[in-house]
């Protein structure tokens, strides 16, 4: 079996570019056995799979040296498996879903990934990530999502306000979270049949336009002294309060 | 006003060592205006305060050059204020508290910091971090805690099992979280008067000994497809289900 042992190899150099958003037009990289297995189960299409000796048994894999794997990896201790996965060719529409999480301008990749993972656990059926948020195919987002993007559809949407209008026209209730105690205590929410939960930016919260557009504004009552919660923790608390019994 | 402009200055070199746990015997570093203000409000004792020109008005501050600030900072974009804070000289006892969060071998600094911040928001009155967990005075933990350690006492405890026995002897109910659906649905928990909530390691969960010692094992029902939640999100969901009404 041939082995790629040079970092200057064109396939390696081209693959590494996929860590930059501008090169991710048709595919992205995933790393590690767990995500690879999730991708296989989801029927994802692989463009190429780079492995070290340890994973040489994987079908269609291309063997690379440890040094090339370290070069190609986004982590400090590479597991020895990096796959290039094609973007799904068609998507459902966000409008057809019942229970959607919307991330409005959430910037930290770890927060974006964790919230999508939580939405998957809570039984939401889709996620929309609006412009200004971390790119969902960035390595850190993929690591923290732990394969959730293979379980539920994720949309990227530049025009948040236009999306909200479309969702409202489809009888979807928009619930936006705020820090304001003048809004509804999340524990008093009666779960609508079709709804979207909007989580805002780490520092600034939801946009002021969103505050006007949303059907319901809700907040988490905090009996303690901290002024706010991490957005991913807040999202988890509200999402699980809106799960089925 | 004198200015320190050399990274070789002994005070600077000694201060920088405080990022390493072995040197944090009597003090630790905090960075940025927000944490400094929290420390002032909490009546913390400062050993020294390094600032750039921007914060030269701060009482007792030592002026340093931008270059020295960058050297001393743990962040990529230093705000220009780093203070050395003395450890509090005496602590309450964990046994005197009513509502305690225990982090058992939680390794990721971001998770440890976020959970302490959430405990502060949820109105818990103390946190115990057991051996094997990330050190609470590590820079990343301090950043994610956002000053919570100035609001509630935090104990470091090497012998988790001995602690649990002491807490039980004080009529504290130990609630440990698991992934097992054979345990209690967290929504069915009746909040005990005095309790400690135990969150386990990111990968391995709580120790098998803890499973035997705990009075109640509880889990979060996940209607979706993800196999688990991020531990800080899970802690947030359970802590807020145990807050006062």
CB B129 within 8 A of CB B155: yes
Residues in B closer than 8 angstroms to A145, CB to CB, are: none
| CA atoms B207, B208, B209, B210: torsion sign | positive
pLDDT tens for chain A, 245 residues: list them.
689 999 999 999 999 999 998 899 889 999 999 999 999 988 889 999 999 999 999 999 999 999 999 999 988 899 999 999 998 765 566 667 899 999 999 999 999 999 999 999 999 999 999 988 999 999 999 999 999 999 999 988 889 999 999 999 999 999 999 988 889 999 999 999 999 999 999 999 999 999 999 999 999 999 999 889 999 999 999 999 998 66
**CB-CB under 8 Å, A234 with B117:** no
Alpha-carbon gap, residue A108 to A230, rounded angstroms: 11
Nearest CA in chain A to B185: A245
CA distance B38 to chain A (A): 11
Topology agreement, domain A3-86 and domain A94-241 = no
DSSP β-bridge partners for residue A157: A130
Alpha-carbon gap, residue B182 to B17, rounded angstroms: 47
**CB-CB under 8 Å, B223 with A243:** yes
Alpha-carbon gap, residue A188 to B47, rounded angstroms: 47
The DSSP symbol for B148 reads: G
**CB-CB under 8 Å, A220 with B240:** yes
Residues in B closer than 8 angstroms to A148, CB to CB, are: 225-226
Burial per residue of B46-64, b for 16 or more beta-carbon CB atoms within 10 angstroms, e otherwise: bebbbbbeebeebeebbbb
Q: What CATH code would you report for A94-241? A: 3.40.1280.10
Superfamily of segment(s) B3-86: Ribosomal protein L30/S12 (3.30.1330.30)
Q: How many CB atoms lie within 10 A of CB B227?
A: 13
Residues in A closer than 8 angstroms to B236, CB to CB, are: 229-230, 233-234, 236-237
User: CA triplet A104, A190, A96: central angle to 5 degrees?
Assistant: 55
**CB-CB under 8 Å, B117 with A224:** no
In angstroms, the Cα distances linking B231 to A192, B101, B104 are 28, 13, 11
- In this complex, which of B114, B226, B240 lies closest to A117 when CB atoms are compared? B226
CA distance A183 to chain B (A): 17
CB A39 within 8 A of CB A83: yes
Asked if the ipTM is above 0.85, the reply is no
- In this complex, which of A222, A224, A236 lies closest to B237 when CB atoms are compared? A236
- In this complex, which of A152, A221, A237 lies closest to B236 when CB atoms are compared? A237
Residues in A closer than 8 angstroms to B220, CB to CB, are: 240
pLDDT of residue A119: 98
CA distance A1 to chain B (A): 35
Which residue, A104, A82, A96, is CA-closest to A12? Answer: A82
**CB-CB under 8 Å, B232 with A118:** no
How high does pLDDT run on average in chain A? 93
* Each residue's pLDDT tens digit, B215-237: 999 999 999 998 899 999 999 99
CA distance B195 to chain A (A): 17
Residues in B closer than 8 angstroms to A110, CB to CB, are: 110
Nearest CA in chain B to A232: B233
CA distance A23 to chain B (A): 26
When pLDDT is cut at 50, 70 and 90, the band that residue B2 belongs to is confident
CA distance B151 to chain A (A): 7
The residues spanned by each domain of chain A are 3-86, 94-241
The pTM is what? 0.85
């Amino acid at each position: 079996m041939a082995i790629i042992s040079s970092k200057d190899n064109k396939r390696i150099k081209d693959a590494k570019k996929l860590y930059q958003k501008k090169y991710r037009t048709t595919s992205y990289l995933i790393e590690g056995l767990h995500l690879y297995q999730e991708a296989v189960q989801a029927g994802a299409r692989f463009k190429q799979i780079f492995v070290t000796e340890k994973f040489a048994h994987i079908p269609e894999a291309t063997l690379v040296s440890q040094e090339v794997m370290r070069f190609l990896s986004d982590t400090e201790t590479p597991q020895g498996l990096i796959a290039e996965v094609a973007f799904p060719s068609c998507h459902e529409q966000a409008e057809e879903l019942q229970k959607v999480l919307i991330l409005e301008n959430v910037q930290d990749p770890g927060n974006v990934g964790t919230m999508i993972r939580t939405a998957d656990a809570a039984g939401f059926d889709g996620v929309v990530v609006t412009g200004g948020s971390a790119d969902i195919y960035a390595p850190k987002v993929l690591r923290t999502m732990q394969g959730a993007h293979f379980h539920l559809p994720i949309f990227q949407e530049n025009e948040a306000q236009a999306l909200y209008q479309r969702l409202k026209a489809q009888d979807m209730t928009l619930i936006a979270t705020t820090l304001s105690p003048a809004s509804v205590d999340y524990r008093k929410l009666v779960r609508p049949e079709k709804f979207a939960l909007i989580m805002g930016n780490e520092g600034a919260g939801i946009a002021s336009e969103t505050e006007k557009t949303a059907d319901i504004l809700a907040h988490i009552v905090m009996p303690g002294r901290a002024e706010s919660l991490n957005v991913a923790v807040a999202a988890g608390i509200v999402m699980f309060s809106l799960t089925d019994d």
